[in-house]
Amino acid sequence: MESNVRVRFAPSPTGPLHIGGVRTALFNYLFAKQHGGTFILRVEDTDQNRFVEGAEAYIIEALDWLGIPYDEGPERPGTKGPYRQSERRDIYRAYAEKLLATGWAYYAFDTPESLEHHRKEHESKGKTFIYNWHNREKLDNALTLSSEALQSRLAQGDPYVIRFKWPVDQVLVLEDLIRGSIRIDTNLLDDKVLFKSDGMPTYHLANIVDDHLMAISHVIRGEEWLPSLALHVQLYKAFGWEPPQFAHLPLILKPTGKGKLSKRDGEKLGFPVFPLSWKESQGYREAGFLPEAVLNFLAMLGWNPGTEQELFSKEELIAQFSLERVQKSGARFDPEKNKWFNHHYLQARPLESLLPEFRQELSRLLPDAGPFEDAYLHRVLGLIRERASFLWEACEAGRYFFEAPATYDEKAVKKQWKPETPDRLQAVAEVLSVLDEFSGERAEAAVKEWIAASGLGFGQVMPPLRLVLVGAMQGPHIFDIMELLGKGETLSRIERAIAVLGTTQG
């Protein structure tokens, strides 16, 4: 059965998509897919002053990277296109005129200077200037002009706007799927501009007309649009259309929980707020996050399943998501939690799927090392991935798999390198050099046998051995490392450390 659920993500291409915008897209997508409905991308680019070159392509690439594909939108036409408002500009005037004809809207000629003057004057008396019932009949608009005067001003090309005319003394009861009923006194609302004499609609008119023409059933968007809800619902009434259902998602808050998350918070605390890099701001993709991790943590920003479960595949999210479980209050953004999710998904990925990116990270870190075979990278990653939250982190931590240590951790040298250490390691090297089959297991047996026979303790041999192979006191099981490095490299690292650190240290 064809579903009637049609939702849209309607970004304005004014810059990169903020992580909050991505969450809005995600919640729309989850809701649509759960109901077998349609997820639409509509580009709201009517405001040419704020248009930013490349922003639309950025938005599409970000949705694509995250696996939030839209069903209808630019380059994926459905039956209700076009999906860029700039390509729909001829549609809107007729609707503005309809509102003029039915008395829901009126022409206004006030210049920006005169509006500014009124605003200042009000401010000086400690009041706020609202263009509405209170003063609209004292301002320069069609409500006070005869129809001849109006026609002549239009004919002489006076710049105008078309404003919505709020009815007086009404209490509206608006319904929001997340917030319940909201009561609004129409006397407090301003007569918003719907259309301008440059022939372009404002956001409000274009948005409502398009939602109607695109048969949108549910409007799911950020809380910042809640103040526009009354106007939007009233516009539906004015046109005689059935309004969609509305759901306003909670704000995303700073890590401190106080105030809205901003780009600056990311810069200050060192985490991305954009899905992909944009100019000098690093995106989640470039910071090494996996799309499934980003998707999962975004889903938890304001929604919860009502259980302790935190890890969700996209399919599970589609099955379990519900607007009823979206919270009203702001959702605190926790960068540490994001890392936690990434750590989880990095472990969950089949190793093979990580190799191309691991190789990339490696060539960034050590452009001159290698070449390394896939099988080698696979085994290295298998040993070191457990502790890493990012591939670049694994790469840095496992650097010694790709080049011999250039330096040795000073503290470790102080602690582990004794005057007798070179002789001991020399003996270990001899034991290893005679092995035919250089597996971790064989090496371990041989070295342990030698330690026992020499009457030494493990602590006198194993830590210095790690130091010479790794350069520091870290890493997985030392014999696993040896096996991967191979006999030649293991022996040469021992030789090199003896030469560099000598007998006098410690």
Q: Which residues bind ligand GLU (CB under 6 A)?
A: 10-12, 44, 203, 207, 221, 225
Measured distance CA(332)–CA(64) in Å, rounded: 26
When the beta carbons of 7 and 425 are compared against ligand GLU, the nearer one is 7
Nearer to ligand GLU, 11 or 302 (CB): 11
Nearest to 118 by CA among 210, 35, 51, 190: 190
Q: Shortest approach of ligand GLU to residue 243 CB, angstroms?
A: 13
Compare residues 51 and 450 and give the one whose CB is closer to ligand GLU: 51
Cα 337 to Cα 274, 296, 310, 389, 397: the distances in Å are 17, 11, 11, 11, 21
Q: How far is the CB of 97 from ligand GLU (least distance, A)?
A: 23
Which are the contacts of 5, defined by CB distance < 8 A and separation ≥ 6? 31, 32, 35, 36, 37, 38, 217, 218
Report in angstroms how near the CB of residue 51 gets to ligand GLU at its nearest.
12
Structure tokens at 164: 């919505």
Residue 11 to residue 43: CA distance in whole angstroms:
6
At residue 420, what are phi and psi to the nearest 5 degrees?
-85, -10
Least CB distance to ligand GLU at residue 381 (A)? 40
Q: Which is nearer to ligand GLU, 225 or 402 (CB)?
A: 225
User: Catalytic amino acids?
Assistant: 263
Q: Which residues of 357-366 are buried (b: 16+ CB within 10 A; e: fewer)?
A: ebbebbeeee
Question: How many Å from the N-terminal Cα to the C-terminal Cα in the chain?
Answer: 77
Supply the minimum distance, in Å, between the C-beta of residue 206 and ligand GLU: 9
The DSSP result for 276-289, as a single string, is S-BTTBPPTTTTT-
Report the SS3 class of residue 218.
strand
Query: Smaller CB distance to ligand GLU: residue 222 or 370?
Result: 222
Q: Is 221 exposed, middle or buried (0-12, 13-18, 19+ CB in 10 A)?
A: buried
Token pair in block for residue 6 = 């049609």
Closest approach, Cβ 226 to ligand GLU, in A, equals 11
Min. distance of Cβ 239 from ligand GLU in angstroms? 16
What are all long-range contacts of 350-359, with beta carbons under 8 Å and residues at least 24 apart?
Answer: 351/378, 351/381, 351/382, 351/385, 352/378, 354/381, 354/385, 354/391, 355/381, 357/391, 358/391, 358/394, 358/395
- The tokens for 271 are 């985490």
Nearest one of 136, 128, 194 to 160, comparing CA atoms: 194
